[in-house]
Every structure is written in structure tokens, then in C-alpha cells.
């Protein structure tokens, strides 16, 4: 059982040389292919560096261009050399110059010995491929690609579009079924010899010469024709990002890589001195027979993908500023907006604060200042209570507040007296749980006892503002979290409605609040409404005035001693 390493090298030759020496010093034969486009002095330096290692050989240099058959040709030649020069080699491991060994070769050989005759190569049908660059998967095999993707992108794209338009399709040679997979594999001598000595090899090579990215398809396809026992996975740990380019490993990945129990990782940053020093130290005794388990690595890079493509919901920052409709959540958490409650219940915030686990703010959008919970001048994230700072961008004020306090449910009071610039956002944000008692703002007006002409004007303005707010909420069509009562409806059975609101918005989900809140004194409120109407302002939003008469003329609405959360 001997593994031979074939390395395809085109940059960072110093590092490639170190890795080759590391394998060679453990007794493994190494064949290196250096891209002919590497400057001669650099290639010569690599040869000189490895000259004293008899098991390090160089295969004839081909000029390799990404995405073309030249890479396959280089691989074929290097593998053929490896098999011919080293009769004892039972497996060939294909690696690049940017690969780093994570475990001793002895571990790899023990792993392969326990799985005799198995070829390790990721090889999946084109139907299952989702990673392909440029959206090409099946078409890699059925179109022609004479132009370089890197150097002549427009020609490449134009030619693809032309072939699609003309309905051109190449014939796939009989006897093979297109498969794709990682370029990095570990195959048995038997399989490789069968591929290289296939009587139809010329025909296959001619076909693959015009396949797109044949290094991810040639061996992956032909192995299905010859191999007896394929495990469709790569023994090389290699992660790709959403652009299809490999993630790079740095010094700080060392522990993560080691714990993965993979044999080889790709690709390492050439200047990651700490990583190379640790991984190229002379290997200790074979550690344990553990099989590769890259789960932790997968999670780290899956998180990176999610961060790059979905981001953190409700976050607006210098490198995440989504267009409308692309926010994945306009705010980061659910929150409650209670409209009119503080008018019906004096001291409502203190009461709610006492009986719920939420942060209960007062009027965050009041004209005079932002009334934060506890009355502080600044709040989480150093948001200030200054109304001009807040009104400079009310939406940012709210999304910042929610972001800064994530983990604690936020709740604030709202009413027609406040800055209404935030209403559209509230209406469109599915996280906003809005409960509205319409017409409630008449209560503080009634209590203030201002000059009646002025009271009437203010009442009319509030009514207009509230109507606009309601139609804004309804127009958005969200509705899901919306509860609306007229003042009359609410007063009629306020315990049930309050209970329902608190439970439905999760404000008092855990335990029932101890005591009912104190309700505003409404003696004479019905008469106040009558007078408003008689002086020419029809109070439309407070609901059935007759009902309010009935409820208020005999004193406060029916109190109940305790409140219990309705399930």
C-alpha cells in the first residue's frame, strides 16, 4: 500500500516545494507538474530544491490555462509517469501546489488499506450539480467552448448564447455519462490504468478537449466507465464560496483544519507562515484511524455563505444596505406598538413594565423628545432622545433601537400627537404588532380642559391623523398583527381586549399580570363628545357615542379585580 502524490503547480512554488518535500520525506513518491508559464528561474529553483530527493520527479511541462483541457493533459502525463516509475504505487493522490497535508501519509495509507479497491472521487451527474460557474452544467458537455472564459469573456458568453439560440448540441460519445466533481481525487492504480489505456481514449480526449472545465469532468466521467467501487467524495478538504472560488485557509484556521481529520486541505494562503510551519512539522506517529469529518469546517463556511447572501435581518450598515423588498426582514425582531392605550390607562407604561418582561417605552416619537423606557436621555447604542436627531431619519431610529436591544422585546406607545413619519414603516413591517384604540386621544383632551374652540381643532386634527394612520395600516394589507377597536368597543370589554392584546403580542405570555391597570376617570366624557359634535366636529373614531354615554355617565367602566391572560 503506497500512495503517490501528483502535484499540479503554477504559483507559490516555494510552498509547493515544501509540501512535496514533506510527502517525499515520508517515503511517498511525488510527481510534480509545473505550469510551463511559470518563469524559468522559479521552476529551476524548485527543481534544485528537490534535487536530492530521489522520489521527487517532474513531469514534462505543459502550459495550463484555467478551464481548458491542458490541465487534464498535464494530469494524464504526470499520472502516467507516476505509475510507470513507481511500480509499488497502489493509489495516486492528485493535489495542487496550494494543498497542505493535515495528517501523516501513514494515516492516509491506513485509511486506504482499510478500504481496498475503492476510488475516492467526487462524481455526480449534471442534474445534481448546483455549484457550476456561469450557470453551465449539462451544457458544459453539449456546447463547444473555443474561447477563454478568463481572457475573452465576451466572446465566450456570446458564443454560448449563439449556440443556445441556434440549438446546437454536441453528441456525447456513446458509453459515457457526463459526471462532474472536484478536481482533486485519489484513484487506484487499476482505475487509472484503465482510463489511460482505454482503447477509445483518443476519441474521449478529442471530445473533452471542447468540454468546459474538463478538469472537473474528465476523470469524474471516465471513472464511472471503469471503476468497480466509487465513493463519490474527495479526500481533499476544499470549500467554495458563492462565486465558485475556493476559500483560502489562514493561520487562524489551524485548529479547525486539524479537528476535521481530513488528509489534505486546499487552498492555503502562501504567506500563512504559522499554518505551514505547524502542518509541515515532521509528522508524529500515526495518530488514530479516524475518518475525515469536516462538519465543523462545513458549518463555518456555510455561515459565511449565509452572511454574504442573506445577511443579518434588520441590520442596516455600511456594507449591507438592501434595496426595498430585499431586506429579509425590515427590522430584526418583533415589537409592539400600542396606540391609544396610554390615554385610556394613566400610568400604563409603569403598569405594563411591571407585569411584562418587555422593555416598555413611552411615546418614542413624541414631538418634545423620545420617551425611552425609564425616561433616560440616551438608550441602547447611544440613541439620544433629541427629536431632531430622531426625526432626521425616524426609520433608522427605530431599526437601530430594535437592533441595539435584540434579545429583549420592545414595546412603545403611539398616538396622533406624535411624529407620524414612521407610520408607513410600521404598516409595512411584518414585525410590527400594532394594536389601536381609535379615538382614544380624545381622553387626554377631555381631561386637559383647554379652551373648547382649541380643543375642537386639536380633536379634528387628531382624527385626521388617526384616519390616515389606519388607512395606511390597512392599505399595506399586512393585517396579520393588527388589532383595532374603537374606543367604545374597547371600553365595553376592556379587560378581555387588554388581556388578548398582551397575550397575543407576547408581552405577558408567561404569567398573568397581578392587578388590572387603573382606567382613566371618564365622568362626563359622553357629554364632552356630545359637545364636540354639536360644535361641528363629529367624533367618528371613538365609536358608538351612545355606548360611551352608557359606560361613562354612571362613573368608570366596570372594573374587575384581577386580570387573567386569555389563552
Q: Would you say 241 or 544 has its CB closer to other proteins? A: 241
In 3D space, the residue among 63, 73, 15 whose CA is nearest the CA of residue 277 turns out to be: 15
Q: Would you say 84 or 317 has its CB closer to other proteins? A: 317
Q: DSSP for 337-378?
A: EEESHHHHSTTHHHHHHHH-SSEEEEETT-SS----GGG-SE
Binding mask 354-393 for other proteins (x = CB under 8 A): ----------------------xxxxxxxxx-x-xx--xx
Q: Is 169 in the site for other proteins (CB under 8 A)?
A: no
208, 403, 485, 528: which one binds other proteins (CB under 8 A): 403
Burial of 271 (0-12, 13-18, 19+ CB in 10 A): exposed
Q: Is 207 in the site for other proteins (CB under 8 A)?
A: no
Q: Is 130 in the site for other proteins (CB under 8 A)?
A: no
Q: Is 134 in the site for other proteins (CB under 8 A)?
A: no
Q: Is 279 in the site for other proteins (CB under 8 A)?
A: no
CB of residue 349 to other proteins, shortest distance in Å: 20
Measured distance CA(135)–CA(244) in Å, rounded: 11
61, 129, 172, 305: which one binds other proteins (CB under 8 A): 305
Burial of 404 (0-12, 13-18, 19+ CB in 10 A): middle
Judge if the upstream peptide bond of residue 209 is cis by omega within 30 degrees of 0: no
Q: DSSP for 219-282?
A: HHHHHHHH-SSEE-S-SEEE-B-TTS-B--B-GGGHHHHHHTT-SEEE-B-TT-HHHHHHHTSP
Place of cell 484511524: 289
Relative orientation angle of helices 525-534 and 452-475, to the nearest 10 degrees? 90
Binding mask 316-345 for other proteins (x = CB under 8 A): xxxxxxxx--xxx-----------------
Q: Would you say 87 or 326 has its CB closer to other proteins? A: 326
CB of residue 98 to other proteins, shortest distance in Å: 11
Measured distance CA(214)–CA(303) in Å, rounded: 30
Decide if 422 contacts 395 (C-beta within 8 A).
yes
Q: Is 250 in the site for other proteins (CB under 8 A)?
A: yes
Q: Would you say 304 or 484 has its CB closer to other proteins? A: 304
Measured distance CA(471)–CA(503) in Å, rounded: 25
CB of residue 424 to other proteins, shortest distance in Å: 17
Q: Would you say 280 or 304 has its CB closer to other proteins? A: 304
Residues 442-471 contacting other proteins, CB under 8 A: none
Binding mask 522-561 for other proteins (x = CB under 8 A): ----------------------------------------
Q: Would you say 371 or 462 has its CB closer to other proteins? A: 371
CB of residue 74 to other proteins, shortest distance in Å: 22
400, 441, 455, 463: which one binds other proteins (CB under 8 A): 400
Instruction: List CB contacts of 344: < 8 A, sequence separation 6 or more.
Output: 437, 440, 443, 487, 490, 491, 494, 519, 520
Measured distance CA(69)–CA(206) in Å, rounded: 10
| Alpha-carbon radius of gyration of the chain | 36
In 3D space, the residue among 256, 262, 248 whose CA is nearest the CA of residue 101 turns out to be: 262
Q: Is 271 in the site for other proteins (CB under 8 A)?
A: yes
Q: Which stretch binds other proteins (CB under 8 A): 2-10, 81-89, 353-361, 401-409?
A: 401-409
Q: Would you say 388 or 480 has its CB closer to other proteins? A: 388
CB of residue 421 to other proteins, shortest distance in Å: 13
231, 259, 404, 447: which one binds other proteins (CB under 8 A): 404
Decide if 13 contacts 42 (C-beta within 8 A).
yes
* Contacts with other proteins, residue ranges (CB under 8 A): 241-243, 245, 247-248, 250-252, 269, 271-272, 300-301, 303-305, 307-312, 315-323, 326-328, 376-384, 386, 388-389, 392-393, 396, 400-401, 403-404
Amino acid at each position: 500500500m503506497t500512495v503517490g502524490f501528483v502535484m499540479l503547480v503554477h504559483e507559490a512554488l516555494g510552498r509547493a516545494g515544501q509540501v512535496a518535500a514533506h510527502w517525499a520525506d515520508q517515503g511517498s513518491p511525488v510527481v510534480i507538474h509545473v505550469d510551463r508559464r511559470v518563469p524559468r528561474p522559479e521552476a529551476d529553483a524548485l527543481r534544485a530544491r528537490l534535487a536530492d530527493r530521489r522520489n521527487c520527479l517532474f513531469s514534462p511541462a505543459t502550459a495550463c490555462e484555467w478551464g481548458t483541457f491542458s490541465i487534464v493533459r498535464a494530469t494524464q502525463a504526470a499520472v502516467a509517469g507516476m505509475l510507470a516509475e513507481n511500480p509499488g504505487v497502489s493509489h495516486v493522490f492528485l493535489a495542487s501546489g496550494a494543498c497542505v497535508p493535515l495528517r501523516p501519509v501513514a494515516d492516509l495509507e491506513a485509511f486506504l488499506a482499510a478500504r481496498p479497491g475503492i476510488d475516492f472521487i467526487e462524481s455526480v451527474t449534471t442534474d445534481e450539480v448546483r455549484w457550476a460557474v456561469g450557470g453551465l452544467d449539462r451544457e458544459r458537455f453539449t456546447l463547444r467552448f473555443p474561447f477563454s472564459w478568463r481572457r475573452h469573456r465576451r466572446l465566450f458568453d456570446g458564443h454560448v448564447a449563439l449556440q443556445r439560440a441556434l440549438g446546437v448540441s454536441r453528441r456525447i460519445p456513446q458509453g459515457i455519462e457526463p459526471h462532474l466533481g472536484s478536481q482533486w481525487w485519489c484513484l487506484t492504480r487499476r482505475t487509472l490504468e484503465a482510463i489511460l489505456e482505454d482503447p477509445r481514449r483518443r476519441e474521449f480526449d478529442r471530445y473533452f478537449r471542447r468540454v468546459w472545465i474538463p478538469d472537473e469532468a474528465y476523470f469524474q466521467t471516465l471513472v464511472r466507465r471503469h471503476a468497480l467501487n466509487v465513493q463519490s467524495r474527495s479526500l481533499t478538504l476544499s470549500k467554495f464560496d458563492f462565486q465558485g472560488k475556493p476559500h483560502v485557509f489562514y493561520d487562524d484556521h489551524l485548529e479547525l483544519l486539524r479537528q476535521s481529520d481530513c488528509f489534505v486541505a486546499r487552498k492555503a494562503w502562501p504567506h500563512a507562515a504559522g499554518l505551514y510551519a505547524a502542518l509541515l512539522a515532521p509528522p508524529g506517529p500515526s495518530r488514530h484511524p479516524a475518518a475525515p469529518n469536516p462538519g465543523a469546517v462545513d458549518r463555518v463556511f456555510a455561515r459565511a455563505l449565509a452572511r454574504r447572501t442573506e445577511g443579518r435581518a434588520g441590520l442596516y450598515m455600511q456594507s449591507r444596505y438592501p434595496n426595498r423588498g430585499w431586506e429579509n426582514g425590515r427590522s430584526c425582531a418583533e415589537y409592539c406598538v400600542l396606540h391609544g392605550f396610554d390615554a385610556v390607562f394613566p400610568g400604563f407604561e409603569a403598569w405594563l413594565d411591571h407585569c411584562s418582561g418587555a422593555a416598555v417605552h413611552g411615546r418614542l416619537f413624541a414631538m418634545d423628545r423620545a420617551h425611552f423606557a425609564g425616561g433616560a436621555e440616551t438608550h441602547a447604542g447611544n440613541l439620544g432622545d433629541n427629536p431632531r436627531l430622531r426625526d432626521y431619519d425616524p426609520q433608522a431610529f427605530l431599526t437601530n433601537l430594535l437592533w441595539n436591544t435584540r434579545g429583549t422585546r420592545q414595546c412603545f406607545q403611539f398616538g396622533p400627537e406624535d411624529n407620524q413619519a414612521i407610520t408607513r414603516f410600521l404598516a409595512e413591517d411584518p414585525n410590527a404588532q400594532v394594536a389601536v384604540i381609535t379615538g382614544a386621544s380624545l381622553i387626554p383632551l377631555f381631561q386637559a380642559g383647554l379652551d373648547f374652540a382649541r380643543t375642537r381643532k386639536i380633536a379634528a386634527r387628531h382624527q385626521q391623523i388617526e384616519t390616515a394612520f389606519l388607512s395606511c395600516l390597512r392599505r399595506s394589507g399586512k393585517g396579520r398583527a393588527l388589532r383595532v377597536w374603537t374606543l367604545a368597543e374597547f371600553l365595553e370589554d376592556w379587560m378581555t381586549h387588554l388581556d388578548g392584546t398582551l397575550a397575543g403580542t407576547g408581552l405577558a405570555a408567561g404569567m398573568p399580570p397581578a392587578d388590572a391597570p387603573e382606567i382613566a376617570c371618564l365622568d362626563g366624557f359622553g357629554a364632552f363628545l356630545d359637545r364636540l359634535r354639536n360644535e361641528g366636529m363629529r367624533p367618528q373614531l371613538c365609536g358608538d357615542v351612545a355606548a360611551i354615554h352608557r359606560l361613562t355617565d354612571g362613573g368608570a367602566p366596570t372594573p374587575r379585580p384581577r386580570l387573567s391572560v386569555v389563552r
